[in-house]
Chains A and B, each alone.
Chain A
Amino acid sequence: MEIYLYIALFAPLVSSLFAALFTATPKKQFVGIIASLLIFTAFVSSSILLTHILGTGEIVHVELMTWMATGNLYIPFGFVVDQVSVTMMMVVTLVSTIVHIYSIGYMDHDSGFNRFFSYLSAFVFSMMILVMSDNFAGLFIGWEGVGLCSWLLIGFWFHKESATWAANEAFIMNRIADLGMLIGIFLIYWNTGTLQYDGAFAAFGNLDQTTLTLIGIFLFIGAMGKSAQFPLHTWLADAMEGPTPVSALIHAATMVTAGVYLVVRSHELYALIPNVGLFIASLGAFVAIFAASMALVNRDIKRVIAYSTLSQLGYMFAAAGLGAYWVALFHLMAHAFFKALLFLGGGNVMHAMNNELDPFKMGALGKTMKGTMIMMTLASVALAGIFPLAGFFSKDLILEVAFVDHHFIIYTVLLLTAGLTAFYSFRIIALIFHGEDRHTALGHHPHEAYKFMLVAMSPLLILAIIAGFTMKMPYFEMVTELLPATEYHIHSHTTYWIMTIGTQLFVMLAIFFAYKKYMCSSVKIPDGTSKMENNFFYKLLINQYYIPYFYEAYIVKIYKALSVVCWEQIDKKIVDASVDGIANIFYNTGKNTRQMQSGNLSTMLKWMVAGTVALLSLAVVFGLAAKYSDEITIVLSSLGV
Chain B
Amino acid sequence: MMEIGLNHYLVLSTILFTIGLIGVMRRKNLLLLFFATEILLNAVNVGFAAISHYYGDLTGQMFAFFVIAIAASELAVGLGLLIVWHKRHGTIDLDTMTSMRG
Decide: A601 and B102 in contact? CB cutoff 8 A. no
Segment with Cβ contacts to A, from B2-10, B43-51, B75-83, B91-99:
B91-99
A491 interface residue, CB < 8 Å from B? no
Q: Mark A residues whose CB is within 8 Å of B.
A: 594, 597-602, 604-606, 609
Near A by CB (< 8 A), chain B positions 48-99 give: 94-95, 97-99
Pick the residue among A599, A605, A606 that contacts B100 (CB under 8 A): A599
- CB pair B101–A609 under 8 Å, yes or no, is no
CB of B25 within 8 A of CB of A600, answer no
A604 and B94 CA atoms in complex are apart in Å by 11
Of all chain A residues, the one with the shortest Cβ separation from B101 is: A599
- Minimum distance in angstroms from A271 CB to a CB of chain B: 79
- Chain B residues near A605: list those with CB within 8 A: 24-25
**In the bound complex, what is the Cα–Cα distance between A207 and B14 (angstroms)?**
85
Q: Are A597 and B28 in contact (CB under 8 A)?
A: no
Verify if B21 is at the interface (C-beta below 8 Å from A).
yes
Does B95 contact A600, Cβ atoms closer than 8 Å? yes
**B25 touching A599 by the CB < 8 A rule?**
no
- Interchain CA distance A597-B102 in the complex, whole Å: 5
Q: A601 and B97 in contact (CB under 8 A), knowing A609-B21, A609-B25?
A: yes
**A602 contacts which of B21, B25, B102 (Cβ < 8 Å)?**
B25
Are the C-beta atoms of B24 and A600 separated by less than 8 Å?
no
- Closest-by-CB residue of A relative to B28 is A602
Q: How far is the CA of A403 from the CA of B99 in the complex (A)?
A: 99
Docked Cα-Cα span, A606 to B27, in Å, equals 11
Measured in the bound complex, the distance between the Cα atoms of B95 and A601 in whole Å is: 7
Q: What are the nearest 8 A-B pairs in CB distance?
A: A599-B101, A597-B102, A599-B98, A599-B100, A602-B94, A601-B94, A606-B25, A601-B97
16 contacts between A and B (CB under 8 A): A594-B102, A597-B102, A598-B102, A599-B99, A600-B94, A600-B98, A601-B94, A601-B100, A602-B27, A602-B94, A602-B95, A604-B100, A605-B24, A605-B25, A606-B25, A609-B21
> Please, how many angstroms separate the alpha-carbon atoms of A601 and B99 in the complex?
10
Residues of A within 8 A of B95 (CB): 600, 602
Which one of A594, A598, A605 has the highest number of Cβ atoms from chain B below 10 Å of its Cβ? Answer: A605
A507 to B18, CA, bound (A): 112
Contact A598 B94 (CB under 8 A): no
In the bound complex, do residue A599 and residue B102 qualify as a contact, i.e. CB atoms below 8 Å apart? yes
- Chain B minimum-CB-distance residue to A598: B101
What is the CA–CA distance of A602 and B98 in the complex, to the nearest angstrom?
10
Against A, the Cβ 8 Å flags (1 = close, 0 = not) of B11-28 are 000000000010011011
Given contacts A599-B98, A602-B27, A602-B94, 8 further A-B pairs with CB under 8 A are A594-B102, A598-B101, A600-B97, A601-B100, A602-B28, A605-B24, A605-B25, A609-B25
Tell me how far the C-beta of B41 lies from the nearest C-beta in chain A, rounded to whole angstroms: 15
Residues from chain A with Cβ under 8 Å of B27 in the complex: 602
Q: Which residue of A lies closest to B25 (CB)?
A: A606
What's the Cα separation between A351 and B57 when bound, in Å?
Answer: 109
A residues less than 8 Å from B100 (CB atoms): 599, 601, 604
Chain B residues with CB below 8 A from A601, complex form: 94, 97, 100
> Which of B25, B94, B101 is close to A597, meaning CB atoms less than 8 Å apart?
B101
Which residues of chain A are within 8 angstroms of B99 by Cβ–Cβ distance? 599
Report the separation of the CA atoms of residues A600 and B99 in the bound assembly, to the nearest whole angstrom: 8
Task: Kindly list chain A residues whose C-beta atoms are within 8 Å of the C-beta of B28.
Answer: 602
Query: Chain A contacts of B21 at CB under 8 A?
Result: 609
Closest A residue to B30 by beta carbon equals A601
Complex CA distance for A205 and B28, rounded to whole angstroms: 93
Which residues of chain B come closer than 8 Å to A598, judged between CB atoms? 98, 101-102
Q: Which residue of B lies closest to A602 (CB)?
A: B94
* A600 surroundings in chain B (CB, below 8 A): 94-95, 97-98
**Chain A proximity of B26: nearest CB distance (Å):** 8
Write out the residue numbers on chain A whose beta carbons fall within 8 Å of the beta carbon of B101.
597-599
> Chain A's nearest CB lies how many Å from the CB of B88?
16
Closest B residue to A613 by CB, please name it.
Answer: B21
Tell me how far the C-beta of B59 lies from the nearest C-beta in chain A, rounded to whole angstroms: 22
Complex Cα distance A606/B94, Å?
13
Shortest Cβ gap from B1 to chain A (Å): 27
Q: Kindly report which residue of chain A lies nearest to residue B98, judged by CB atoms.
A: A599
Cα(A597)–Cα(B101), bound, Å: 6
With a cutoff of 8 Å between Cβ atoms, the chain B residues found around residue A594 in the complex are 102
Q: Which residue of chain B has the shortest Cβ distance to A596 in the bound complex? A: B102
Considering residues A594, A598, A600, A606, which has the most beta carbons from chain B within 10 angstroms of its beta carbon? A600
Complexed CA–CA distance, A604 and B98 (Å)? 11
Residues of B within 8 A of A597 (CB): 101-102
- A525-B33 Cα distance, complex, nearest whole Å: 102
Question: How distant is B101 from chain A, measured CB to nearest CB, in Å?
Answer: 3
Q: Smallest distance from the beta carbon of A589 to chain B beta carbons, Å?
A: 15
* Least Cβ–Cβ distance between B8 and chain A, in angstroms: 21
What are the residues of chain B within 8 A of A606 when measuring CB–CB? 25
Chain A contacts for B24, CB-based, 8 A: 605, 609
* Cα distance A606–B21 in the bound complex, in angstroms: 9
Closest CB of chain A to B52's CB: distance in Å? 23
State A602–B99 Cα separation when bound (angstroms): 13
B25 surroundings in chain A (CB, below 8 A): 602, 605-606, 609
Enumerate chain B residues within 8 angstroms of A609, measured Cβ to Cβ. 21, 24-25
Name, among A598, A599, A602, A604, the residue most crowded by chain B CB atoms within 10 Å (CB to CB).
A602
How many angstroms between the C-alpha atoms of A313 and B25 in the bound complex? 89
Measured between beta carbons, the chain B residues less than 8 angstroms from A604 are 100
Chain A residues with CB under 8 Å of B97's CB are 599-601
Alpha-carbon gap, A562 to B36, bound state (A) = 70
Q: Give the interface centre of B25, B27, B28, B95 by most chain A CB atoms within 10 Å.
A: B25
Chain B residues with Cβ below 8 Å from A599 are 97-102
- Residues of A contacting B102 with CB < 8 Å? 594, 597-599
Nearest CB in chain B: distance from A50 CB, A:
78
Bound: A606/B25 CA distance, A = 6
A596 to chain B, nearest CB (A): 8
Cα A606 to Cα B24 with chains together (Å)? 8
In whole Å, how far is A387's beta carbon from the nearest beta carbon of chain B?
A: 94
Bound-state CA distance A344–B100 (Å) is 78
What is the bound-complex CA distance between A594 and B101, given in angstroms?
10
Question: In the complex, what's the smallest C-beta–C-beta distance from B77 to chain A, in angstroms?
Answer: 17
A594 to B102 CA separation, bound complex (whole angstroms): 8
* Residues of the B chain whose Cβ atoms lie less than 8 Å from the Cβ of A602: 25, 27-28, 94-95
Q: Report the nearest A residue to B99, measured CB to CB.
A: A599
Name the distance in Å between A535's Cβ and chain B's nearest Cβ. 83
Closest CB of chain A to B66's CB: distance in Å? 21
Most B CB contacts (10 A, CB to CB) among A601, A606, A609 go to A601
Alpha-carbon distance between A493 and B12 when the two chains are bound, in angstroms: 127
> B32 to chain A: closest CB distance in Å?
12
